[in-house]
Amino acid sequence: MFDYLIIGSGFAGSVIAERIANVLNEKVLIIEKRNHIGGNCFDYRDKNGIIIHKYGPHLFHTNNKKVFDYLSDFTDWNIYHHQVLAFIDGKKVPIPFNFNSIKQMFPETLANRLIEKLLKKYKYGSKVPILELKKENDTDLKFLADFIYEKVFKNYTAKQWNKKPEEIDPEVTARVPVFIGTDNRYFNDKYQAIPTEGYTKIFENMLNHPNIKLMLNTDYKEVIDIDFENKKIYFFGQEFKGKLIFTGMIDELFNYKFGELPYRTLDLRFKTVGKEKFQEVATVNYPNNYDFTRITEFKHIHPVKTDKTTILYEYPKEYKKGDTPYYPVFTPENRQIYNKYREYAQDFESIILVGRLADYRYYDMDDIVEKALDVFEEKIK
C-alpha cells in the first residue's frame, strides 16, 4: 500500500515525505512516536495566546536561498533578528561578545585600546572563535580572551556539556565566537525570519497531501520488524519491499549493537509571569549564576499583546535512555562508535538514514532541510 515508510516527522522526515508525495506522486506513511508532528521544531499557542517552542527556542536563519525559497512555499515569514544578552558581573551585555559588550564591560580607555587592537588583527565583521583568541600573545588581547573565556564561555560550557571547552569538538566551540564589530544580532545570515503562524503550520502544510498518511503516538518498533540477518523489513508482519527512511537514533535502529551514543538532554521549565514583558530581549544567558543556562521570553519572537508573558528556563542534564536526546556529545570516541553504525548501515540498501539523530550531528533547521532535499535527489528520486 505504501511505497515508503518514514520514521519521524521532524524536518528530515517531513521534507522527504513532501517531496515523495508531490514530485514522485507516490504513497508514504510517516510513523511518529510523539503525539504531534514537527519533531523538535513543534510549537503551539499556550493559554495566554503566546506561541511557545515546546523543545526550546528555534530561530530560523540561513544564507541558503534554495532552503529559504523552499520553505517559503509552506509559510509566510515575519522578519526577526534574534538578540542574546549575557548576564556578566551584574550587567547584561550582547552575545556574541562584540565592541558594544567591550564598551559596556570595561573602562573607556581600556575598551578603546582593545577594540583598536582587535581591528588591527582581525577583519571588521569577522567572527573569531574564542579558543583562537586565547592563543594571542599581546597582553591586552590575552586579557580580553581570558576574560571572555572565564566569564562568558567556560561555565556556560560546563553547564551545557558537563565538560571543559577543550574537550568539546571545535565544531561546537566555533559556535561561540567573538564578533569584530558592533552588530548586536546573534546571527548575521542573509535570511533571518520566523514563520508567521509558527513552525507547526509549516509541517501541517507540507504534510497536507492525499499521498501522505500519518501514524502518531507510534514507536516504529510497534509496527516494524527488521530482520538484520536477512536484511528484510516487516511492516505489521508483512514483508515491506519499499524504502524505509529513518530519522530516529541510529544506535536504537541497530539495537545498540556497538553501544549507546551519548547525548545531553534539557529540563525545560516554562513559567507564566504576570507582567507584559519580563526581559529586554528574547534570550538572556546566565553563564555564571544559577543552574539554568538561559531564559527565553517567547513574546519577543512572536509579538502578541497580552498582560502576561511566558518564559522558559533551560537546565541541561545528563541523558538517560527514554529522555529526549537533544544534543549529540561530540568526542572522538563517540564519533568512532557512530562511524561503526554508519558503516554497518551501508549493508542495508533499503534503509536511508537522515536527520540529526540518524547522522548524530548538530544540524540547524536550514542544514537539515538542505540535507533532506539532497537525500531525496540523490537516493530517492
Binding residues vs ligand FAD (CB under 6 A):
7-13, 31-34, 39-41, 55-60, 219-220, 247-248, 326, 355-357, 363-366, 368
Nearest approach in angstroms of CB 313 to ligand FAD is: 13
| Residue 45, C-alpha cell as written in the block | 499557542
Nearest approach in angstroms of CB 275 to ligand FAD is: 25
Is 137 strand, coil or helix?
A: coil
Choice between 131 and 202, CB closer to ligand FAD: 202
User: Residue by residue, what is the 3-state secondary structure of the chain?
Assistant: CCCEEEECCCHHHHHHHHHHHHHHCCCEEEECCCCCCCHHHCEEECCCCCEEECCCCCCEEECCHHHHHHHHCCCCEEECCCEEEEEECCEEEEECCCHHHHHHHCCHHHHHHHHHHHHHHCCCCCEEEHHHHCCCCCHHHHHHHHHHHHHHHHHHHHHHHCCCHHHCCHHHHCCCEEECCCCCECCCCCEEEEECCCHHHHHHHHHCCCCEEEECCCCHHHCEEEECCCCEEEECCEEECCEEEECCCHHHHCCCCCCCCCEEEEEEEEEEECCCCCCCCCEEECCCCCCCCEEEEHHHCCCCCCCCEEEEEEEEEECCCCCCCCEECCCHHHHHHHHHHHHHHCCCCCEEECCCCCCCCCCCHHHHHHHHHHHHHHHHC
Nearest approach in angstroms of CB 6 to ligand FAD is: 9
Nearest approach in angstroms of CB 41 to ligand FAD is: 5
Choice between 115 and 224, CB closer to ligand FAD: 224
Choice between 114 and 249, CB closer to ligand FAD: 249
Closest CA to 153 of 293, 316, 334: 293
Choice between 37 and 105, CB closer to ligand FAD: 37
Choice between 41 and 114, CB closer to ligand FAD: 41
Nearest approach in angstroms of CB 220 to ligand FAD is: 4
Number of residue whose CB is nearest ligand FAD = 39
Choice between 198 and 355, CB closer to ligand FAD: 355
Nearest approach in angstroms of CB 111 to ligand FAD is: 30
Choice between 217 and 339, CB closer to ligand FAD: 217
Choice between 119 and 216, CB closer to ligand FAD: 216
Are 204 and 37 in contact by the 8 Å Cβ rule? The answer is yes
Choice between 110 and 268, CB closer to ligand FAD: 268
DSSP letter at 281? S
Nearest approach in angstroms of CB 212 to ligand FAD is: 15
Nearest approach in angstroms of CB 187 to ligand FAD is: 9
Which residue is associated with the grid cell 565544531? 171
Nearest approach in angstroms of CB 293 to ligand FAD is: 10
Nearest approach in angstroms of CB 50 to ligand FAD is: 18
Tell me the C-alpha distance between 218 and 128, whole Å: 45
Choice between 84 and 105, CB closer to ligand FAD: 84
Tell me the C-alpha distance between 3 and 331, whole Å: 38
